[in-house]
Chain A
Amino acid sequence: MNALPPTAATVAHDTPAYNFAYLDEQTKRMIRRAILKGIAIPGYQVPFASREMPMPYGWGTGGVQVTAAVLGPDDVLKVIDQGADDTTNAVAIRGFFRKTAGVRTTTHTAEATVIQTRHRIPEAPLAEHQILVYQVPIPEPLRFLEPRETETRTMHALEEYGLMHVKLYEDIARHGHIATTYAYPVKVDGRYIMDPSPTPKFDNPKMHRSKALQLFGAGREKRIYAIPPHTDVVSLDFEDHPFKVQTFAQPCALCAAEGVYLDEVLLDDKGGRMFVCSDTDNCEERRAAGHRGALAGDDISRKDRS
């Protein structure tokens, strides 16, 4: 960890079996072209020829390919999964890029230039020089309403999004509110309806006019899409049922943060539990700065989180 950035010579010497960041140059060019189209057409899903990666689908092969196509030796990479840097998936992807690209890695959001994520957007606002890469399992927000790709393509082409509103309104009829809490659909720059990936809807407002470039990669579904910086990202809603994010009754039990996304953690087998920051880096930085939650003295292993 924290090795010096490689030069062409050291990479060629140390990693003779594969190219920098694993992908061959022709594949990178193809992915890079798809990224540029995605940026030019915000929220539109660009097809790309997804490659086999040395990890199973579901491990973020789409995000990994996007990261591999943008990453350079001067980048500092952070990988999060469910908000945490220490899950198996995040550790494996960080290790993959340390080995294949020799890049520096970090758990600190502010230090990272490229952040690959599954399920969360960091709590700390992102800066202009940062790129957020999402791992996306199902990129098509209309897929569960219409299984046929030709049909969903036409719906996007004609901006025929009535079905999506019907689906959300059925939620209201059944539950009295919009029950969708993850992968809550958004409209990008007033045109394309987009799946924000399985992030909690709590994170949707962070996408709106973010200073960072946001890139999305779906490996199995072979799609890349993007949100440029400073772009309007609006969660779908109705006048009488406006979009609302989740709120939490208590602050984080460890760092006392409010207005952040909390995970429920079981403390023992007798049903004891607490709510702590999902964003582990944000929580650790707050505790390092002296913030103390109600249970901050307890020795809680982060690995016990369910």
Chain B
Amino acid sequence: MTAVTSAAFDGGFRQPVFDAQTTFRAIMDALARPGRRVICRPLATAPAPMSPLMAAVALTLVDPETPVWLDGALAASADVRGWFAFQTGAPMVDQPADAAFAFVVDPARMPPLSAFAQGTPEYPDRSTTLVVSAESVEDTGAVFTGPGIETSVLFDTRPAIPAFAEQWQANRALFPRGVDLLFVAADAIVGLPRSSRLRTG
């Protein structure tokens, strides 16, 4: 680990009120229309390996009220941790199950979805929202149906989350408990709320 540099103090929204609103609408649109690529110009930056759009999503949703978990690649960067502390004031947690938001840049090595907060039967909203890097989003691959999807939608992200189909079916089986995913590419967000059903066979 290295000492924090001035990079932690750079990269916030230039117009916080409007940039957060613009980014939020893209996030909301993505979650309301699962599997659809919602274009969103990144309006912030953060130290590597955090992407600009992931930074904008963090600035839009995260604050001192939301415990944050970072995956190994992010947590290894003192600048990233410093950026979160300076830009959001969010408390950092070591256990995925304690996180309101989790940020993942290395999906291949992330903990299972079941390791994150799933909510309770009475309060299923007390769950983790995972913000996951995607180098690419393809409109092929797995078929999803459910709320927000007119008929069905195909999408696939790279790099893949290990055993994603099995994991997602287990997540959906917990409904209304479960986690929600926001895949973040360079200039687009794809939402996958717990309500989405993976079609099999």
How far does the Cβ of A268 sit from chain B's closest Cβ, in whole Å? 48
**Residues of B in contact, count (CB < 8 Å):** 40
B21 contacts partner chain A, Cβ-Cβ < 8 Å: yes
How far does the Cβ of B194 sit from chain A's closest Cβ, in whole Å? 6
Q: Can you name the residue of chain B whose Cβ is closest to the Cβ of A113? A: B25
Q: Can you name the residue of chain A whose Cβ is closest to the Cβ of B151? A: A230
Number of inter-chain CB pairs below 8 Å: 111
How far does the Cβ of A33 sit from chain B's closest Cβ, in whole Å? 6
- Are B21 and A71 in touch, CB under 8 angstroms? yes
B66 contacts partner chain A, Cβ-Cβ < 8 Å: yes
Q: Can you name the residue of chain B whose Cβ is closest to the Cβ of A228? A: B148
- Are A8 and B18 in touch, CB under 8 angstroms? yes
- What separation, in Å, do the CA atoms of A29 and B21 have in the docked complex? 9
A95 contacts partner chain B, Cβ-Cβ < 8 Å: no
Chain B residues whose C-beta falls within 8 Å of the C-beta of A191 in the assembled complex: 175-176
Select which of A46, A158, A189, A230 is within 8 A of B125 by beta carbon. Answer: A46
Q: Please, what's the 1-or-0 string for A161-177, where 1 marks a CB less than 8 Å from any CB in chain B?
A: 00000000000000000
Since A29-B20, A44-B124, A72-B22 are in contact, a sample of 7 more A-B pairs with Cβ atoms closer than 8 Å, ordered by chain A residue number, is A19-B17, A33-B61, A35-B28, A37-B127, A70-B25, A154-B122, A213-B32
A binding-site residues for B, Cβ under 8 Å:
8, 11, 19-20, 25-26, 28-30, 32-37, 39-42, 44, 46-47, 69-73, 153-154, 156-158, 189, 191-192, 213, 226-232
29 interchain pairs, CB-CB under 8 A: A8-B18, A25-B16, A25-B20, A26-B63, A29-B20, A29-B62, A32-B28, A33-B66, A34-B125, A36-B27, A36-B28, A36-B31, A36-B61, A36-B129, A40-B193, A40-B195, A41-B193, A41-B195, A42-B195, A47-B123, A69-B24, A72-B21, A156-B122, A157-B121, A228-B147, A228-B195, A230-B147, A230-B148, A231-B148
